[in-house]
Structure 1
């Protein structure tokens, strides 16, 4: 009896001295890049209710907490969940259902892919695809509607160029849209040959004359393909994204899907707006839930360099055109004046040095330095205009893979002198102090490690050029990692709740098979994701 009482006292004493807290998840034996202000590296962390509650050594975390789930990282590198600061979820979802024309080596290759698609899906009322780039073809000539008509005379065809700022269509599509040689469009171009005949190439606003007739996916199917897109993003370590410009219908669908927990990726969605009708888009206040936020207005100021729609201060190389604005400057100024008095953030697409200058000066005139207004892309900036990013507090949102995709033909578009201040990411960082990094998927691939590699090595997938493209504007690995985590979160007013592994923040993280910060440069694009976690829940594991 005495021995039983003694054992009881020992048990009570043991239980009374145990202070271990119950948590949902512990990750230990890891190399945790917290991406905090000191860029500190830890070994372990504990997660409860989707939040990081403690970070430290493996011993400290394991001694302090009891977890429902433990993950031994076996020395692998763990990072905050990657954040794509500029992408397009609906376009990516639709892209997966269309003809993939990325990497086409010629017009013949393009036609062959279309024929295969048509054979597989004969019931489709339209043939829609994207990703072609004539600069990769031997003759570098734009495709012509006559070629499409030869093989597809009775079904409408609409094929986006890789930048989504130009498309080629066939005669059937032109017929449906009632486009002829007399049709005009503001902020766009309907290409014609030397005889005045339409070639089938539509640039910027001209594309919508045809695309509006393409049947949309049904609502139930849209959720399915959005989930497919989401799972693809999870597989490469993305836990958050900026949806850079959505219609009211698309935003309503997202609200519905997130309210029913049908989507899990964190989405900072921007309302796509036309400047001449801005009041329509800000009649409601900002929207914010745990995983969906709507508090930014996205507009377009110009087109792209590849299709010569970007608005330049001087003519394109060996040409008589300098691109164009998609809307008059006066409309932008009126819209920005209204927006400066609202709660909405502004993000405007600008590629050419003329459009960038116009927007920088308008932002400065509005005195919105503390509003984190953004310029998306900021691809070509006149050397005298970089200082304005600091002076006016304009946040540069960049996509490093654009530099390594466009470098092959950049000099042909704007010459070597102007190219020196193109894709100048280090210069933008120098003046603003941060850069938000994204991919612009599906224009580029959605894998953030491709962007990381392009940012630090300034090389394409083949490792070209060997010396790196304009290396004076390469970012360090720490800068690139910050750009796709904490600085991306900052660009969306979310740096206090995500973007780094710190106490009190959302438990979003990714585990890689190799260390992004130390792996050889040539390995960066090939590093695989082992696990992606959102709010403490594993949403992807490598099979």
Structure 2
């Protein structure tokens, strides 16, 4: 009997010492969990794609066992990064066209186009990324040189912000437009009574682009995914997708071809799409979330399309314009407010922000937790900041450091006080969602971090930072790129932090982004990116 009792005791001890088997264990990490108390951790365990335990290396190793142990060697780990506002699909398809980003002159654009056409022999030449503010002569280009180089081949070159288009005469002829064509919500730029080839906002819609093939679209999505994973991005908020592209993304994800998590904002420029998705209801998988509409309020500051309350400082009697009539915004907002969907509206100019926040307030009344977003929230009148108490600011820090050289020339010193005011917006709502707006800006989220917290360009200009009273702290910035971005997508319970029960999305970095000197932040790189605990980069 005594022998049996001893055996039972031994079995109990063995059972109590048995470790739980998990898929992966990460140890010896310097992990920022971004939980409610912003705790750090040394280790965590992963099972079936989710975090099952977070703690010290000893705690995790004492309780769990795995055939896949990842020794972080004290490297910094953060939750999978979320880009709260980008154009993932457009970036991918743009990789299949002429890349004009970083060009320093119109002549450099022409050189790239000649090289592109020599390689591709395209029937319709498409390109994107030019920005006249980066040139010595900071004026819109004109089409004469394009007409000489490509007299019979249509050419359409999208400005970096997507709100202006340079086209040649062949593209104009194809579209059957003239300098007298009427445009609502945009402009056909003329000079000396003739078309320059530059079209602003709604005028761009006249140009008849050839349809991108399905295979080109798929390749673009896969190319974009590879680049995003290489920067530690595990979720992207695509700001404006058509139904066919949303369904393509869903099918690729279900076939395990596309792994990137996508928060899809349905393009609200077509009434039939609004009607379709409101009738369909919210659509949610582990990889795709369709519960919002992206609406354009105005254009961009760089092309003077942003709607301003007073005339532009560098162009008399020019105010930019709303894309739609005020009544149309009210109609859209009322329809979305009657559903469970979120409304996310592009608003850059102070007039657009005034009108859209007022419209939001009127239709939402006292509704809580709707999380309606203003995308960009770039120039805010002093009296309008209070409207963001129940409206979530979705901002892109690199816009501030890209625009700081010329923005005051556009809008004057007084209006600059409410421009790129990240801290003031944070004080009102308590959270901000941070993104890049790529391909308008670079994909690199570490440039977002740098612009948010340090507010300088890569040449350390300006010496003391740009409008530093509105810089975010590093903790606030990391939250804006993780848990607050997840919150803006109604996904804070499944991602955005390293916590038990959430998707095991995380990034190992080559340096501690929370502590390195400010000028070292842009040199941060993703050593490895994990999605559901699976290494994807």
Does the pair score TM above 0.5? yes
Deviation at residue 224 of structure 1 after TM alignment: 2.1
Tell me if the contact between 1:439 and 1:445 (Cα under 8 Å) persists in the aligned partners.
yes
How far 1:51 moved relative to its partner? 0.7
Offset of residue 180 of structure 1: 1.2
For the pair 1:308 / 2:307, whether they are aligned, the reply is: no
State which drifts further: 134-143 or 37-46: 134-143
The whole-number CA distance in structure 2 between the counterparts of 1:62 and 1:412 is 59
Question: Does structure 2 retain, via aligned residues, the 8 Å contact 1:276–1:331?
Answer: no
Q: Which residue of 1 aligns with 2:362?
A: 365
Cα pair distance change 1:426/1:275, threshold 3 Å:
farther
* Equivalent position of 1:187 in the other structure: 185
Q: Return the offset for 1:127.
A: 1.2
For the 8 Å contact 2:494–2:501, the answer to whether it is kept is: yes
Give how far 1:14 is off: 6.3
Q: Shift in Å at residue 300 of structure 1?
A: 0.3
- In the other structure, the counterpart of 2:241 is 246
Q: Render the CA deviation track for 1:498-524: whole Å, top value 9, x for unaligned.
A: 100011111100000100101111111
Matches within 5 A, 1:115-126: 115-122=114-121, 124-126=122-124
Query: What residue in structure 1 maps to residue 455 of structure 2?
Result: 458
2:254 maps to which residue?
259
Structure 2 matches for 1:195-344, cutoff 5 A? Answer: 195=193, 197-210=194-207, 213-274=208-269, 278-319=274-315, 320-344=317-341
For 1:201 and 1:317, locate their aligned partners in 2 and report how far apart those are by CA, in whole Å.
Answer: 21
Answering whether residue 489 of structure 2 is matched by residue 492 of structure 1, we say yes
CA 1:377/1:402 → structure 2, altered by over 3 Å: closer, same or farther? same
How many pairs are equivalent? 531
1:134 to 132, 135, 138: 132
Q: Distance in 2 between matches of 1:51 and 1:447?
A: 26
Residue 118 of structure 1: SS of its match in structure 2?
Answer: helix
- Of residues 130, 148, 151, the one that matches 1:150 is 148
Matched position secondary structure for 1:207: helix
1:513-524 aligned within 5 A? 513-524=510-521
SS in 2 for 1:422: coil
Give RMSD over aligned pairs. Answer: 1.8
Q: Sort the Cα spacing of 1:369 and 1:358 in 2 relative to 1 into closer, same or farther, 3 A.
A: farther
In the alignment, is the contact (CA less than 8 A) between 2:29 and 2:77 conserved in 1? yes
Structure 1 residue matching 2:484: 3-state secondary structure: helix
What is the alpha-carbon distance in structure 2 between the residues aligned to residue 143 and residue 82 of structure 1?
Answer: 37
Equivalent of 1:165 in 163, 166, 188: 163
Deviation at 1:137, TM superposition (A): 1.4
Matches within 5 A, 1:470-481: 470-481=467-478
Q: How far did residue 338 of structure 1 move?
A: 1.4
- Residues 119-159 of structure 1, C-alpha deviation per residue, up to 9 Å, x if partnerless? 1112x111111111111212212111112111111111111
Distance (Å, rounded) in 1 between the aligned partners of 2:356 and 2:368: 13
TM-score by length of structure 1 reads 0.95
- What is the Cα deviation at residue 337 of structure 1? 1.1
Structure 1 position 13, deviation (Å): 6.5
Report the more deviating stretch, 137-146 or 303-312.
Answer: 137-146
Q: Equivalent residue of 1:363, what SS?
A: helix
TM-superposed deviation, 1:9:
9.1
- 1:370 is displaced (CA, Å) by 2.2
Distance between the aligned counterparts of 1:315 and 1:125, measured in 2? 41
Residue 175 of structure 1 corresponds to which residue in structure 2? 173
Instruction: Say whether 1:535 aligns with 2:506.
Output: no
Q: Deviations over 1:212-234 (max 9, x none)?
A: x2223322332222111001000
The 5 Å alignment of 1:370-389 reads 370-389=369-388
Q: Equivalent residue of 2:22, what SS?
A: strand
Question: CA shift at 1:466, angstroms?
Answer: 1.6
Aligned equivalent of 2:509 = 512
* Contact kept in structure 1, 2:96 and 2:216, CA below 8 Å: no
In 2 relative to 1, CA 203–369 (structure 1 residues): closer, same or farther, beyond 3 Å?
farther
Q: Is the 8 A contact 2:34 2:79 kept in 1?
A: yes
Query: Is 2:428 the counterpart of 1:431?
Result: yes
Unmatched 5+ residue regions in structure 2?
none
Supply the distance in 2 between the matched residues of 1:353 and 1:276 (Cα, whole angstroms). Answer: 26
Describe the shift of the 1:229–1:266 C-alpha distance in structure 2 as closer, same or farther (beyond 3 A): same
SS in 2 for 1:282: helix
SS at match of 2:239: strand
SS in 2 for 1:224: helix
Offset, 1:461: 2.0
Alignment partners' CA distance in 2, 1:335 and 1:469: 36
On the 8 A contact 1:273/1:281 being kept in 2, the answer is no
Q: Secondary structure at the match of 1:386?
A: helix
TM-score with structure 2 setting the length: 0.96
1 CA distance for matches of 2:287 and 2:275? Answer: 26
